[in-house]
C-alpha cells in the first residue's frame, strides 16, 4: 500500500492546492463536528436517566416517566421472529448462489438482480406489503409476528449478500480436497464449507440484527404501538425505535425519555456494529485467498 | 566523480523495515549517456532506481541512508522540493501505466500542472511529444479516446511521451521493454537510442543483448548474503570484454544468474 | 437415504430458498399493485395529478387525491440532501486516503462506519429536538424542507463516504506511482487521476444515497412539518410521500388506503427507475 500522505506532497505556493487542502480538512472537521454535536448531545441528555429501573419497569404516564421494559421485550421478540425466518431462508439462498450456480447462470443472475432491487426498496414499502399480506390476508393483525415477518423480508438481501461473500472467501482447495475424498455435496457443505464460511454468516447476521433494531417505519403499522408487555407473538408490541418516534412526535413532554431510549438503542447498535467490524477484521483475516 | 556525471551516489543503502534491500552503493552516472543496470531478479535494481527520484517515499517503511546528488542537488536534503525534483527526473515503468484518461489528457495533465495553460502551446507540445515517440501518425485521429484502448507497445510509448513533455534532465527506465513483444520492444529500444545525448538515461534490463546494444556504461547488481550490492560498474566495453570481477565475467557470459 | 438422494433433496431445498428470496420483490410489487387497483379504478390515475388538493376519503367521490406536492417534497428533500452529502462524502473519503495521517484516517473511517449504523429515527429525533428549534429562531415554523434536507444529508453521508472510500481503495497503485513519478501534486493527483479512475464506484455511491434519500421515512416524517403544499422556500414545511404513508396508513380505509398503496407503488417505480438509470449510464465497461 502506498502511503499517500508522504508520497504526494501538496504543491508549494499554489493557491488552488491550498484551497483544496482547506476544503478537504474542513469537510472532515464538519462531519466530526456534527457527529460530536449529535451523539454528544444525545448522550449528555439521555445517559443520566438510564438505570436498572429504567430498563426493567413499564412506562407510565404515556411514556413520559417509567421505563422501557416492554419495548425491550418487543424488540427482542421482533428480532427473534425476523431472524428465525430470514436466517434459514437466507442461508439456503446464499449457499445455492455461491456453491451451486455458476456465475453465468440465468437463474443466479435473476435472483441476484432481484435481491439488489429488494435491497433498495424503501422500508415504508415493506410496511405496506407487510400490512397487506401479514396483517390483513393472513389475519395476524398488528402483531409482533407480522412485524417480525415484515422485517425478515427486509433483511434478507443483506443477509444473503454477506453470507455469499463468506462462501466465496472459502479457498477453492477445500472443495477440491473434499471432492477428492469422495464426500457428497451435502457432506461437504455441512462439514467443510459451512464452518469455513461461518464468519461471513456471522457478519450477515450481525448486519441484519442492526437493520432490525434500527427499523421504525416498517413496524409502525405491522407490529404497532401498544406499549404493554407482549404476552404472545400475536400481541401488538412497540419496539424501542417506535417508542422513540412516538414519544417525540405524539407525547408532549416525552423528549427526555425518548432521548434516554435513543441512547439505549444507539448503545445496542454500537455493540452490534462493533461486533460486525471485529468479525470482519479478525476472523476473516487469513481466510481470504490473497487479494 | 567528474563534472560529466549527473547522478552521484555515495554509500547509499536501503532498508525495507529491518530487511536490507541493497547496501553501500557507490556509483556515478554520466550525463547524457545510457547507463544499463543488470543483475538477477530480486537484487534491488528497481529499488535502486526508485531511490533516484525518491519514488521510494511511496513504500511505507523504506529507509534510505547515504547520499545521492542529481545535477548537483542533494536529493535527500530536507529542503528538497519533491515535486520539482520528480519533474526533473522522469520515469518509465516496467508495466505501461497510462492514466485512465484520454490520450490527450494523459499528456496535458503534467503540462498543465507545470503551469502551461495556453491551448496552442499545449497542442503543439502534445503533438511534438507524440512525434518524438513515433506515435503521432497512429493516434492523431483519436487523441480523445481512452488511453487504455491502446496496445501495450503504444501505451509504453505514450508513457514515454508523458515523461518527455516535462523536458526532464534524466529518465529512469525499469525494464521498459519486458512487458512488450519483440517488435514493440525494438521500437522502444530505438527510441531510447535516439534519446541518447539529450537526456541522462538509466535503464534496468534483464536482456544482456539489449544492454550490449544500448549501453555506454553498465552496472551489475548482485545478491550477496541476502543483500543487494553493486559489484561492478564502468564503461560497457570494460564490463563486457574485460570485467574485473569473476562474478561479472560469468554473468555476462551467461553462466550465472 | 443414499448420499445422492440426499444431495438431490438438498439442492431442491436450496433452490426453493433462492427462488423464494428472488421472487419476494415480485410478490411485493404484486401486492402493491393488487392493493392499489381500487384507487386506480375508483379515483383514476389522472386525479392523482389534477385534483385541487390532498383530502383523502374512504370513498373516491368524497375526497381529493392530489399527490404532486408530496412528490415534489420527496424530490426536493432528495435533491437537497444529495447535493449536500455528495461533495462532503467524497471529500471525506479523500481525506481518509490522501490527506489524513494513517492513524487519523482510520479513526475517521471508524466514525463514519459508526454514523452509518445509527438508525434514522435517532437522526430524526435529533433533528426534531435540535435543528428544528434552531431553524425556528431564524424563520418559523422550523419544521421545514431545510430541516429535512439537513437531517437526510447527514443520514446519507456515511453511505457516500464509505462507497467513495471503497472506490478510492480500488484505484490501482500503478496510477499513483505514475502520478508521483510525474511530480503531480497531491490535489492534482486526486482530482485528475484518482477521482476519474474511481468514477464508477463514486457513481454507484451517489445512486445508493439517492435511493436512500427517496425512501427515507422517519427523518422526513419527524422534521419536515408534514404540510401538503408545494414549498415556496426552504423554510416552508413539506410532506414527503413516505411520511404521508406513515402518517395516514394507521387509519386509512377504502379508496384512501388504496391510494396510499398507489403512492407506495410510485415510490417503488422511482427506485426501480433509479436503479435502471444507474445501470444504463454507469454500466462499468470491461477492464482490460
Ligand atoms: N515495497 C517493498 N517492501 C518490502 N520489500 C520490498 C519492497 N519492494 C521490494 N522489496 C524487496 O527488496 C528486494 C529488491 O527488490 P527489487 O524489486 O528492487 O528487485 P529487482 O532487482 O528489481 O528484481 P526484478 O529484476 O525481479 O525486478 C526484494 O527482496 C524485494 O522483495
Ligand atoms: Mg525490478
For the stretch A178-230, pLDDT in tens is: 888 878 778 888 888 888 888 888 888 888 999 999 999 999 999 988 888 99
C141: cis peptide before it, omega within 30°? yes
Please spell the DSSP secondary structure of A47-77, one letter per residue: GGG-SHHHHHS-EEGGGTEE--HHHHHHHHH
B59 CA: distance to closest CA in chain C (Å):
10
CATH value at residue B58: 3.40.50.300
The architecture CATH gives domain C76-247? Orthogonal Bundle (1.10)
Specify the DSSP element, H or E, that contains B158.
Answer: helix B152-164
Is B81 domain-assigned? Answer: yes
Q: Which ligand 1 atom sits closest to the C-alpha of B94?
A: 27
Pairs across A and B, CB distance < 8 A: 16
Mutant choice from B51, B93, B109, B164 vs C, greatest count of C C-beta within 10 A: B109
Out of C21, C87, C275, the one facing A93 most closely (by C-beta) is C21
**A98: CATH:** 1.10.3720.10
3-state SS assignment for residue A162: helix
Average pLDDT taken over every residue of chain A: 88
Q: Given this model, what pLDDT does residue C221 score? A: 95
Given a cut of 60, whether residue A285 has pLDDT beyond it is no
> Between the CA atoms of C191, C195, C197 and C199, what dihedral angle is there, to the nearest 10 degrees?
-140
**Inter-chain CB proximity C178 and B53 less than 8 Å:** no
Which domain does B237 fall in, by range? 5-99+169-252
Using the CB atoms, write b or e for A26-37: b if 16+ within 10 Å: ebbeebeebbee
Confidence of residue B116 (pLDDT cuts 50, 70, 90): confident
Residue of chain C with shortest Cα separation from A272: C117
Contacts of B16 (CB under 8 A, 6+ apart): B47, B59, B61, B62, B63
Mean pLDDT of B69-77: 91
pLDDT tens-digit map of A98-132: 888 877 788 888 998 899 899 999 999 999 999 99
Nearest chain B alpha carbon to A12: B81
The Cβ of residue B30 has, within 10 Å, a number of other Cβ atoms equal to: 17
Give the cell for residue B75: 536529493
| Contact yes or no for C50/C57 (Cβ under 8 A) | no
Could you give the angle at the alpha carbon of C108 between the alpha carbons of C107 and C114, nearest 5°?
90
**Does pLDDT of B125 surpass 50?**
yes
pTM of the predicted model as reported, rounded to 2 decimal places? 0.89
| Digit-coded pLDDT (tens) for A152-174 | 999 999 999 989 988 888 888 88
Q: Please say whether the beta carbons of A28 and C92 come within 8 A.
A: yes
Inter-chain touch B59–A2, beta carbons under 8 Å: yes
Best residue for ligand 1 mutational test, from B46, B63, B220, B228 (most atoms within 8 Å of Cβ): B46
Residue A261 within a domain: yes
Report d(CA A177, CA C65) in Å as an integer.
64
- Number of domains into which chain A is organized: 1
Q: Can you give the three-state secondary structure of A198-267, one letter per residue?
A: HHHHHHHHHHHHHHHHHCCHHHHCCCCCCCCCCCCCCCCCCCHHHHHHHHHHHCCCCHHHHHHHHHHHHH
Asked if residue A91 is part of any domain, the answer here is yes
Residue B103 corresponds to which cell in the numbers above? 490520450
Q: How high is the mean pLDDT of chain C?
A: 92
Residue A25 within any structural domain of the chain: no
Each residue's pLDDT tens digit, A52-90: 999 999 999 888 988 899 999 999 999 999 999 999 999
The answer on pLDDT for B41 being more than 80 is yes
pLDDT higher at C140 or A150: A150
Residue A147 lies in a domain: yes
Is the distance from CB of A186 to CB of C6 less than 8 angstroms? yes
Domain ranges of chain C: 76-247
B193 belongs to a structural domain:
yes
The answer to the question of residue A43 being in a domain is: no
Q: Regarding predicted confidence, which is higher, C285 or B131?
A: B131
Whether B60 and A1 lie within 8 Å, measured CB to CB = yes
pLDDT digits (tens, 9 = 90+) for C23-53: 999 999 999 999 999 999 999 889 999 999 9
- Span C178-191, pLDDT tens digits: 999 999 999 999 99
User: What letter does residue A136 receive in the DSSP assignment?
Assistant: I
Domains in chain B: how many in total? 1
Our answer on whether the CB atom of B44 is closer than 6 Å to any ligand 1 atom is: yes
Answer whether residue B88 is part of any domain: yes
State how far the alpha carbon of B108 is from the alpha carbons of B96, B100, C11, C182, in Å.
18, 13, 57, 12
pLDDT at B2 over 70: no
For residues C163 and C208, what is the distance between their CA atoms, to the nearest angstrom? 9
> E strands along chain B, which residues?
5-16, 19-30, 34-38, 62-70, 73-74, 89-92, 170-174, 200-204, 217-224, 227-235
Q: Looking at chain C, which runs of residues are DSSP E strands?
A: 54-55, 64-65
Q: How many residues does chain B have?
A: 257
Amino acid at each position: 500500500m502506498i502511503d499517500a500522505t508522504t508520497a504526494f506532497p501538496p504543491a508549494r505556493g499554489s493557491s488552488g492546492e491550498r484551497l483544496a487542502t482547506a476544503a478537504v480538512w474542513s469537510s472532515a472537521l464538519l462531519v466530526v463536528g456534527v457527529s460530536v454535536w449529535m451523539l454528544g448531545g444525545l448522550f449528555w441528555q439521555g445517559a443520566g436517566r438510564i438505570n436498572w429501573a429504567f430498563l426493567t419497569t413499564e412506562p407510565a404516564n404515556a411514556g413520559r416517566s417509567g421505563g422501557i421494559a416492554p419495548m425491550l421485550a418487543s424488540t427482542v421478540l421482533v428480532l427473534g421472529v425476523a431472524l428465525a425466518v430470514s436466517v434459514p431462508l437466507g442461508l439456503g439462498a446464499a449457499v445455492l448462489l455461491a456453491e451451486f450456480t455458476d456465475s453465468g447462470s440465468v437463474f443466479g443472475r435473476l435472483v441476484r438482480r432481484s435481491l439488489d432491487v429488494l435491497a433498495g426498496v424503501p422500508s415504508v414499502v415493506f410496511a405496506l406489503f407487510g400490512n397487506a399480506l401479514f396483517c390483513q390476508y393472513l389475519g395476524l393483525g398488528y402483531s409482533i409476528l407480522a412485524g417480525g415477518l415484515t422485517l425478515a423480508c427486509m433483511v434478507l438481501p443483506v443477509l444473503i449478500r454477506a453470507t455469499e461473500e463468506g462462501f466465496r472467501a472459502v479457498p477453492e482447495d477445500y472443495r477440491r480436497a473434499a471432492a477428492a475424498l469422495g464426500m457428497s455435496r451435502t457432506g461437504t457443505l455441512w462439514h467443510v464449507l459451512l464452518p469455513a464460511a461461518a464468519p461471513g454468516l456471522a457478519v450477515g447476521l450481525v448486519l441484519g440484527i442492526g437493520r432490525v433494531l434500527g427499523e421504525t417505519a416498517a413496524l409502525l403499522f405491522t407490529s404497532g404501538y401498544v406499549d404493554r408487555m407482549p404476552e404472545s407473538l400475536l400481541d401488538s408490541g412497540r419496539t424501542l425505535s417506535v417508542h422513540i418516534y412516538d414519544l417525540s412526535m405524539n407525547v408532549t413532554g416525552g423528549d427526555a425519555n425518548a432521548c434516554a431510549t435513543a441512547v439505549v438503542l444507539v448503545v445496542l447498535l454500537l455493540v452490534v456494529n462493533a461486533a460486525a467490524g471485529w468479525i470482519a477484521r479478525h476472523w476473516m483475516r487469513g481466510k481470504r485467498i490473497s487479494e | 566523480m567528474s563534472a560529466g556525471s549527473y547522478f552521484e551516489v555515495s554509500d547509499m543503502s536501503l532498508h525495507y523495515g529491518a530487511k536490507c534491500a541493497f547496501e553501500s552503493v557507490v556509483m556515478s552516472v554520466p550525463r547524457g549517456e545510457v547507463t544499463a543496470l543488470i543483475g538477477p531478479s530480486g537484487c534491488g535494481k528497481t529499488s535502486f532506481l526508485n531511490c533516484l527520484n525518491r519514488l521510494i517515499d511511496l513504500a511505507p517503511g523504506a529507509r534510505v541512508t547515504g547520499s545521492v546528488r542529481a545535477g548537483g542537488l542533494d536529493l535527500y536534503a530536507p529542503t528538497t522540493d519533491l515535486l520539482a525534483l520528480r519533474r526533473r527526473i522522469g520515469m518509465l515503468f516496467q508495466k505501461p501505466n497510462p492514466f485512465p484518461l484520454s490520450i490527450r489528457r494523459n499528456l496535458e495533465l503534467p503540462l498543465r500542472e507545470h503551469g502551461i495553460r495556453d491551448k496552442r502551446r499545449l497542442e503543439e507540445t502534445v503533438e511534438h511529444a507524440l512525434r518524438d515517440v513515433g506515435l503521432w501518425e497512429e493516434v492523431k485521429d483519436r487523441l480523445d479516446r481512452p488511453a487504455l484502448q491502446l496496445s501495450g507497445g503504444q501505451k509504453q510509448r505514450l508513457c514515454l511521451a508523458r515523461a518527455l513533455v516535462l523536458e526532464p534532465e534524466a529518465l529512469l527506465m525499469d525494464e521498459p521493454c519486458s512487458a512488450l513483444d519483440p517488435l514493440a520492444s525494438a521500437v522502444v529500444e530505438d527510441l531510447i537510442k535516439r534519446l541518447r545525448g539529450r537526456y541522462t538515461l538509466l535503464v534496468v534490463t534483464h536482456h544482456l543483448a539489449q544492454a550490449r546494444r544500448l549501453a555506454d556504461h553498465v552496472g551489475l547488481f548482485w545478491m550477496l548474503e541476502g543483500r543487494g550490492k553493486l559489484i561492478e560498474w564502468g564503461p560497457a566495453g570494460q564490463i563486457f570484454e574485460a570485467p574485473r570481477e569473476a562474478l561479472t565475467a560469468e554473468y555476462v557470459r551467461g553462466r550465472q544468474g | 437415504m443414499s448420499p445422492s438422494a440426499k444431495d438431490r433433496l438438498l439442492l431442491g431445498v436450496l433452490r426453493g430458498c433462492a427462488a423464494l428470496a428472488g421472487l419476494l420483490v415480485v410478490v411485493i410489487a404484486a401486492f402493491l399493485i393488487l392493493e392499489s387497483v381500487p384507487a386506480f379504478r375508483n379515483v383514476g390515475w389522472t386525479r392523482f395529478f389534477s385534483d385541487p388538493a390532498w383530502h383523502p376519503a374512504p370513498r373516491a367521490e368524497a375526497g381529493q387525491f392530489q399527490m404532486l406536492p408530496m412528490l415534489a417534497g420527496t424530490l426536493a428533500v432528495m435533491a437537497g440532501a444529495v447535493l449536500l452529502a455528495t461533495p462532503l462524502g467524497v471529500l471525506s473519503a479523500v481525506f481518509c486516503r490522501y490527506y489524513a495521517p494513517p492513524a487519523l484516517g482510520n479513526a475517521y473511517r471508524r466514525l463514519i462506519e459508526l454514523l452509518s449504523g445509527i438508525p434514522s429515527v435517532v437522526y430524526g429525533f435529533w433533528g426534531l429536538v435540535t435543528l428544528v428549534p434552531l431553524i425556528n429562531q431564524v424563520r418559523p415554523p422550523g419544521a421545514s424542507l431545510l430541516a429535512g434536507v439537513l437531517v437526510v444529508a447527514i443520514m446519507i453521508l456515511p453511505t457516500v463516504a464509505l462507497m467513495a472510500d471503497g472506490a478510492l481503495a480500488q484505484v490501482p497503485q500503478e496510477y499513483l506511482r505514475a502520478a508521483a513519478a510525474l511530480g503531480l501534486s497531491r490535489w492534482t493527483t486526486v482530482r485528475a487521476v484518482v477521482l476519474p479512475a474511481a468514477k464508477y464506484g463514486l457513481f454507484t455511491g451517489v445512486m445508493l444515497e439517492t435511493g436512500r434519500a427517496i425512501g427515507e421515512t422517519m427523518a422526513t416524517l419527524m422534521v419536515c412539518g408534514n404540510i401538503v403544499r408545494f414549498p415556496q422556500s426552504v423554510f416552508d414545511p413539506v410532506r414527503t410521500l413516505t411520511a404521508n404513508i406513515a402518517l395516514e396508513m394507521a387509519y386509512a380505509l377504502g379508496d384512501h388506503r388504496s391510494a396510499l398503496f398507489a403512492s407506495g407503488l410510485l415510490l417503488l417505480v422511482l427506485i426501480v427507475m433509479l436503479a435502471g438509470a444507474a445501470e444504463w449510464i454507469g454500466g462499468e465497461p470491461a477492464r482490460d
